[in-house]
Amino acid sequence: MLNFVLSLLLLGCSVQCATLLRGGTFITYSESTSNLEIVDNGAMLFNDTIIAISKTIDGLDSHSSDSNVKTVNTTGKIISPGFIDTHRHTWQTAMRTLAPNIQLESYSWQYGKTGPAALIYTPEDTYISTLMGNLEGLNAGVTTSLDFAHGMFSRAHAEAGLQGTIDSGARAWWSYGVGPVVINGDPYTVNASASIDQLAHIRELASKNPFNDGLVNLGIAADPPTTEMVETAQYGYS
């Protein structure tokens, strides 16, 4: 019955539209036990989504000769679901390795949202940094992340960061950072009421949510003083 269903799924493909991973160790999930399940020397057929997993290496071999199926030998490999990063700042990717040995206080001042980056970063910088941060994650097996995007210095920066996430193809909760924004370095000046416009911008973006066929969802990253954080949370639930 399984092979019949798979044949129907592949019937409409005029070009290679599925991949058969043959051999290897598959880390999957059992809905019956709600636990991880390890399949040794198995096989998996997939296109945009997983079509079938077999517990034997030859369980899906009837499809290995199909012209629209690409077969990959994964013997000796581990195939696992994508990893999830629950706290990421992709807009800071461009500053990676600049501070390998630094205290948190100095890091926040030099490379955080209230540091020089607020006056130097262009929207294009934010786009490129966000895009590369997500691609870096995908390359390392991180397919889903919560992006705490607290370097949103203007609407243009925010939209660039969101677009970089969308263009990466990663799955993400892109969480718009809300809080004060540096507007001058000397003397050091902060726009403490920036959250008013940020929250209005979030509502505008939310009307278009989700993005990229559901891969990217909009969130709110509350990172201001405590009293404002409460107001931001209340706004998020409204």
- With 0-12 / 13-18 / 19 or more C-beta atoms within 10 angstroms meaning exposed / middle / buried, residue 78 is exposed
Which class is domain 83-237?
Answer: alpha beta
Q: How many Cα atoms sit within 13 Å of 88 on the Cβ side?
A: 29
Contacts of 130 (CB under 8 A, 6+ apart): 90, 91, 93, 147, 149, 160, 161, 164, 165, 168
pTM here? Answer: 0.80
Reported as half-sphere exposure (CB side, CA atoms, 13 A), residue 45 has a value of: 26
3: confidence class by pLDDT, cuts 50, 70, 90: low
- pLDDT per residue over 36-59, tens digit each? 999 998 888 888 788 888 888 887
Q: Is the pLDDT of residue 170 over 50?
A: yes
Q: Is 142 helix (H, G, I), strand (E, B) or coil?
A: strand
Query: What is residue 56's DSSP assignment?
Result: S
When mean pLDDT is compared across 31-40, 104-113, 167-176, 206-215, the lowest value belongs to 104-113
For the chain, which residues make up each domain, given as ranges?
A: 2-79, 83-237
Within this chain, domains 2-79 and 83-237 share the same CATH topology: no
Structure confidence by residue, pLDDT tens digits, 131-142: 999 999 999 999
CA angle 150, 116, 201 (to 5 degrees): 35
Superfamily, domain 2-79: Urease, subunit C, domain 1 (2.30.40.10)
